[in-house]
Amino acid sequence: MTARTLVLLRHAKAEDPGDLLDFERHLTDVGRADADAAGAWLADERLNPRLVICSPAARTRQTWQGVSVALAQAAPDSGSPEVHYETGLYDGGRTEVIDLLRAVPDTVRTVLVIGHNPTMSDVSILLRPYEGGGVVEGLKTSGLAVHRFEGSWSDTEPGALPLITSHTARG
């Protein structure tokens, strides 16, 4: 079996909505720096996604932009991943994320999903094997959760993807 790696990333710090629609909120200066830091951390960990599934909201697109620049600078010869913008990551929940993962081709070994809370935290918690008791913290802005498992993406289900590591990127 081939190891599959899933990286869940909660978007970086966004501006207060003010008069903007939630969908149109942009990253703050701190958020842009944190998105760059998330990409640098992924590069340092050698977690280069071949597929990126991203919410189409402005703040998630901008988070991906910062991450992608840092990844490209660290590994300029690694090529660009395929990127899909999925509305289900904006207006859906954990069921939509699981369905998107189950549809990933098995030729893809590493997937990066960039979305919103509470969904990103919920999915990370849901995918972990139950280890009993204790409060599990959710992802902060620019928080990353890395899950790894042996098997097919179509086998993605609750409790099947152990959490390998987590990190909160700060620029």
DSSP string across 32-94: HHHHHHHHHHHHHTT---SEEEE--SHHHHHHHHHHHHHHHHH-TTS-PPEEEE-THHHH--H
pLDDT at residue 75, as a whole number: 77
Interval 88-146: pLDDT, tens: 999 999 999 999 999 999 999 999 999 999 999 999 999 999 776 666 789 999 999 99
Q: Alpha-carbon distance 77 to 126, whole Å?
A: 35
pLDDT at residue 115, as a whole number: 98
Q: CB 105: neighbour CB atoms within 10 A?
A: 11
CATH fold of the domain at 3-168: Rossmann fold (3.40.50)
Q: Residue 148: what residue type?
A: R
Residues of the chain with pLDDT > 70, as a percent, come to: 97
pLDDT at residue 17, as a whole number: 82
pLDDT at residue 78, as a whole number: 78
Beta-strand pair 143-150/3-10? antiparallel
pLDDT at residue 135, as a whole number: 67
Who has greater pLDDT, 17 or 49? 49
Residues of the chain with pLDDT > 90, as a percent, come to: 86
Q: Residue 103: what residue type?
A: A
pLDDT at residue 40, as a whole number: 95
pLDDT at residue 140, as a whole number: 97
Indicate left, alpha or beta for 69 from its phi (over 0: left) and psi (-120 to 50: alpha). alpha
**Model confidence, pTM:** 0.96
Q: How many separate helices (H) and strands (E) can be counted in the chain?
A: 5, 6
Mean pLDDT in residue range 61-69: 97
Q: Which of 152, 143, 148, 150 is nearest to 162 (CA)?
A: 148
Q: Alpha-carbon distance 71 to 106, whole Å?
A: 23
pLDDT at residue 165, as a whole number: 96
Domain ranges of the chain: 3-168
